[in-house]
């Protein structure tokens, strides 16, 4: 197995995050060789500055955490994040469109962001805690159809985060068409390994250090 730290997007998305905390996040990511740091878009340039000359990527969330803003707003936020140095974008699906079965609208929302990413990775957060199993299947299928690279479980701001059952279901749809990112509530080594064994390629967590050190 690839070293556990390389699966982790070291995450700080709380609304009270400060510049000092983001800098600390970056230093931790470099020390423990996490795959990326994941921050709100305001901090993208700061994260890029403090991860330069390292292998740590910068992941920026877009349309976070509700996903209910206009597609045009998501596009603008994505373009600005790229200018500021983002390597990956984690965007939130429009749950209202999905619930209304406006599947064309869901695909357009995702594809409009993906089309602004010449080389960068797009992960789409489907927020499984609000979805039925059938909706998880549909959301996964639409995400793949729209060209996203990853299907992601959660923002971490809903009633609960990733579950084994939901990840297993998402993986059954994604197959080799897209990768899976599990996030929300993953806070220890045993849980992280369980998700990796299910086939996830990335784990979003604010507990990366605890996961890899057991402390």
For the stretch 20-32, pLDDT in tens is 999 999 999 999 9
Is pLDDT at 215 greater than 80 in this prediction? Answer: no
CA dist., res. 188 & res. 126, Å (int): 23
Q: Please give the tally of structural domains in the chain.
A: 1
140-159 pLDDT, tens digit each: 999 999 999 999 999 999 99
Q: Which residues pair with 25 in a beta bridge?
A: none
Coil, strand or helix at 17:
coil
- The upper half-sphere exposure of residue 13, i.e. CA atoms within 13 Å in the direction of its Cβ, equals 25
77-102 pLDDT, tens digit each: 999 999 999 999 999 999 999 999 99
Domain that holds residue 99: 4-213
160: which DSSP letter? -
Q: Is the dihedral of CA 130, 176, 5, 148 positive or negative?
A: negative
Structure tokens at 127: 């927020």
E strand or H helix at 212: helix 208-213
CATH of the domain at 10: 3.20.20.70
Catalytic residues: 90, 152, 181
């Amino acid at each position: 197995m690839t070293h556990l730290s390389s699966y982790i997007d070291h995450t700080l998305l709380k609304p009270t995050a400060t510049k000092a905390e983001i800098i600390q996040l970056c230093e931790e990511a470099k020390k423990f060789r996490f795959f990326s740091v994941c921050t709100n878009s305001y901090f993208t340039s700061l994260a890029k500055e403090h991860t330069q000359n390292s292998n740590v990527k910068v992941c920026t969330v877009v349309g976070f955490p509700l996903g209910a803003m206009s597609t045009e707003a998501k596009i603008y936020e994505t373009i600005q994040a790229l200018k500021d140095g983002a390597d990956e974008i984690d965007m939130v699906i429009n749950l209202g469109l999905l619930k209304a079965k406006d599947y064309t609208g869901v695909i357009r929302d995702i594809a409009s962001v993906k089309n602004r990413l010449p080389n960068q990775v797009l992960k789409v957060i489907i927020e499984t805690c609000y979805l039925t199993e059938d909706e998880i299947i549909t959301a996964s299928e639409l995400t793949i159809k729209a060209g996203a690279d990853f299907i992601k479980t959660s923002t971490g701001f809903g009633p609960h985060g990733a579950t084994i059952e939901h990840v297993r279901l998402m993986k059954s749809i994604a197959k080799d068409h897209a990768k899976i990112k599990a996030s929300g509530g993953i806070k220890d080594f045993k849980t992280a390994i369980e998700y990796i064994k299910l086939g996830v390629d990335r784990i979003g967590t604010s507990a990366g250090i605890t996961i890899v050190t057991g402390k």
